[in-house]
Chains A and B, each alone.
Chain A
Amino acid sequence: MPETIKLSLRGGDFEAVVLKDGSGPPLLYLHGAVGQKGWAPFLSTLAEKFTVYSPYLPGYAQSTGLEKLDDVTDLTLYQFELLDALNVSKTHVVGHFLGGMIAAEMAALSPSYVDRLILAAPAGTWRDETPVADLLALTASELQAELWSSASSSMSLSTADFEANARLRAELAADRMTDLTAAGKFLWPIPDRGLKRRAYRIKAPTMILWGENDRIIPPIYTEDFTNLIPQAEVHIIPNAGHLLMIERSEVFAAAVADYLS
C-alpha cells in the first residue's frame, strides 16, 4: 500500500496530496483529466522497480490551490515546486492526458528535472478534422462509455483489472464534476495551449503510449507528438481505450518499465 504524503506549498496556497510507494529511481506519475487518479494496480507494478510518486493535481481529491493557477505554465511550475518539496531533483515523468501535457511542458520548460519522459495519450495539440472529445458536453454515462475501448472489453479483463475498473467507475460518477472543473481550466475549449512553441526544448528520451481504441483523443494524435518530439518512440497498445493503464494494466506497466530500464 502506498503512503500518503501531505505537503503545504507556497506558504499554504497549495495543500498537495501525494501517494508514494516502492524503491529505486524516482518516477513521477501525473494523472489525466478524468477517469483515473490516485493509486492503481499499474502503479503497484511500477513500484517494484521505482519510487513512484502519484500526486493529485490541484483541484483533484484533497489537493487544493486550483484558483491560484491561471494557465498551463502555472500548473507546470507547480510540479517543480512539488518535486523540490519531495527532495527529487531529477525523475522519470509519466503523464496521462492532462498529466501528459504537463509532463511534456515540464520537459520543455526545465529539461534538467526530467530523466525519461513517457506520454500516455497526452493532450496539448488540436486537429480540426479529428477533434478531441468534448468532455464538458458528455453526460456521466456518455463519458463512461467513451473512456473505454468498447463495451465488451471488460469480458477479457483479469480479476484484478476488473475490480480496479469497478472502483474507477464508482469514483468517476462521484468526482466527474469537480475533476472536469479543474481540467477545463487547462484544456477547454481547445487544448492547444502553446506546447508546440516550446516542445523544441524537450531533450529527454521520450516514449509515447496510446490505446489503439482511444475515443477521447484518437491515436492519430501520435503524429502531432512525433512531429514535436522527433526522438520519441511510439507504442500503440491494442484493445485499449483512453484509460489504457487501467484496461491493459500489465501491458502498460511492462512497456513503461522496459523503456525506463
Chain B
Amino acid sequence: MKLCFFHLMPYQDLPDSFEKDYHSVWVDAPNSLFNPQKAHHMYNDFLDELEYAETMGFDAICVNEHHNNAYGLMPSPNLMASSMIRATSKAAVVVLGNSLALYNPPIRVAEEMAMMDVMSGGRLIAGFPLGTAMDTIFGYGQVPATLREKYTEAHDLVMRAWKEREPFAFNGKYSQLRYVNIWPRPYQQPHPPIWVPGSGSLETWDWTIDNDYVYCYLSYSGYKVGKTILDGFWDQMENKGKEFNPYHAGFLQIVAVSETDEQAQEYKDSIEYFFKKSLHIPAGFGNPPGYRSVKTNASQSAASTMDSRTKQLSDFTWTDYLEAGNVIAGSPETVRQELTHAVKELRIGNLMLLLQFGDMPKELALKNTTLFANEVMPYMRDIWSEYDTRWWPDGVDNSIPVTEH
C-alpha cells in the first residue's frame, strides 16, 4: 500500500482561551492573532518535516489548500509543493489540491500543476477538491447553488487544456476563453493522476467513480466513522459495476507513535490543541444552505460525521479520542495492529498519515515520523500487494522498494 505523509501546516500559536474568546478558527478569526515572525519559523519547520518524511521512505508528501483560517496556513499549496519538489527527488508530491472553482480563469490550475509536474519529473498527483464551505462560500464568496457546476466546468477546462495539443476556444458559463493553449503541459501523459477529497457527498462519489479518479476521505472523525463513508463509496462502486481496487480510495488518519502506550500521552496537548482550537468551527459555517444537495443532507453519512464532530469539539479527552478512533496512538505494536485493522476495514490503498498536528513542536513531529517510518511502515507495506495502482505518478520508480531498514 501507499503511505503518504500529510501536513496541514496549522497555525501553532493561538491563545490559550481562543475557543472561548473567538467565534471561529475559520472565516472570521482576525489576523491580528497571526504573528509573522513566529509563522516564519512554522513554515520552515513544516517544510523540514515534509522533506524529512521523504528521507524516511514515505511514498508521498501531501499538502492542501485553505483560506481565511488558522487551521492550515496554505492558501496556495502550490507554493509549498514547488519548494518541496526542489528539495526532494523520490517521493510523489500530492497537492490535494486546488479548489477549481476559486481560480479565474481555472487554466491557472492547469498551468501551475503542469509546471510542478515538469519540475518534479512527473512526481505530481493532482488533487481537485470542491473546497470546504468556509473556504469557498464564506472566504471566496462563491454562490452555494452554483459552486459544483462551476467546479465541474473548471475541471472540464483543465482536463482539456492538459490533453489537447492545439489551441482551442472554450465557451463555458463561467469561463470564456478565445485561446486555451497552456505552456508548459504536464510531464505525465496524458495528465497526472487525479485524487478527489470528499466528505461524504453523494455527488462527489458518483463524479469520482464516473471519472475513474481516487476518492479520498479526509476527516478527523477517525476510521470508525470513516468506515460509514467509505462503505458508502464502495457500495456505490459496486452499484455502478466497477471492479474493486483498494487504490481507488484514500483515507487520512491521525497517528501518534511512542516507545510505549503510556508514553504516547506526550501527544495529548497537541491533540487537544488540534481538536479544540484548530477545529473550532461554529455550526453555521460548516454546511450553509445550498452547499450540499438536499439528498446528501438527508443521508446517513452526513448525519454521522456532523454528530461526531460536535462530540469532539465539546468535551472529548485524550482517552475519548483514542477510543473513538480519532487518533491511533501508542507503542509501535499497538499502532501497527490498530492501523492494519483500520486499513483492512476501510479497504483503502492510499493511507495519508497526519503525524504532525496542532501545536506539536518540531522535535516531537520528527520523533513521530521516525518511529512510524522505522517501526510501523515496514509492517504495512505489503498490505494489498496483490493489487496494482493506476493512480500513481509515472515519475516515481515503483519497482525499487524505498525502505530497506
Contacts and interface: CB of A to CB of B under 8 A. Distances in A.
B288 A137 contact: yes
B285 A137 contact: yes
Contacts, number: 53
Contacts of A177: 289-290, 294, 297
Contact of A185 (B141, B143, B285, B294): B143
B284 A137 contact: yes
A178 B293 CA distance: 9
Interface residues of B, number: 18
Given A177-B297, A178-B294, A189-B141, A136 B289 contact: yes
A216 B286 CA distance: 21
Given A177-B294, A177-B297, A178-B294, A136 B288 contact: yes
A176 interface: yes
B289 A139 contact: no
B288 to A, nearest CB: 4
Interface string A183-215: 011001110000000000000000000000000
Contacts of A180: 288-290
A136 B144 contact: yes
B284 A181 contact: no
Contacts of A66: 145
Interface residues of A, number: 20
B289 A178 contact: yes
Interface in A228-250: none
B53 interface: no
Given A136-B137, A136-B289, A177-B294, A185 B145 contact: yes
Contacts of A182: 145
B132 to A, nearest CB: 13
Interface majority SS (helix, strand, loop, mixed), chain B: helix
Contact of B145 (A142, A176, A181): A181
A115 interface: no
A184 B289 CA distance: 8
B322 interface: no
Interface majority SS (helix, strand, loop, mixed), chain A: helix
Nearest to A189: B141
A176 B144 CA distance: 14
B247 interface: no
Nearest to B285: A137
Contacts of A185: 143, 145-146
A138 B282 CA distance: 10
Nearest to A186: B143
A179 interface: yes
B352 to A, nearest CB: 30
B138 interface: yes
A179 B284 CA distance: 16
A129 B137 CA distance: 21
B138 A137 contact: yes
Contacts of A142: 284
Nearest to A59: B145
Contact of B143 (A139, A179, A184): A184
Interface in B144-167: 144-146
Nearest to B293: A181
B283 A184 contact: no
Contacts of A190: 141
Contacts of B27: 137
B290 A181 contact: yes
Nearest to B287: A177
A142 B23 CA distance: 14
B367 to A, nearest CB: 40
B138 A181 contact: no
A181 B283 contact: no
Contacts of B284: 136-139, 142
Interface in B271-288: 282-285, 288
A138 B145 CA distance: 17
Contacts of B141: 188-190
Interface string B291-313: 00010010000000000000000
Interface of A: 66, 70, 135-139, 142, 176-182, 184-185, 188-190
18 contacts: A66-B145, A70-B173, A136-B137, A136-B138, A136-B288, A137-B138, A137-B284, A139-B284, A180-B290, A181-B289, A181-B290, A182-B145, A184-B288, A188-B137, A188-B141, A188-B143, A189-B141, A190-B141
| In the complex, the 9 A-B pairs of residues with the closest C-beta atoms, listed nearest first | A181-B290, A180-B289, A136-B288, A189-B141, A137-B284, A177-B289, A181-B289, A139-B284, A185-B145
Given A181-B145, A188-B143, A189-B141, 19 more contacts: A66-B145, A135-B289, A136-B138, A138-B284, A142-B284, A177-B290, A177-B294, A177-B297, A178-B289, A178-B294, A179-B289, A182-B145, A184-B288, A184-B289, A185-B143, A185-B145, A185-B146, A188-B141, A190-B141
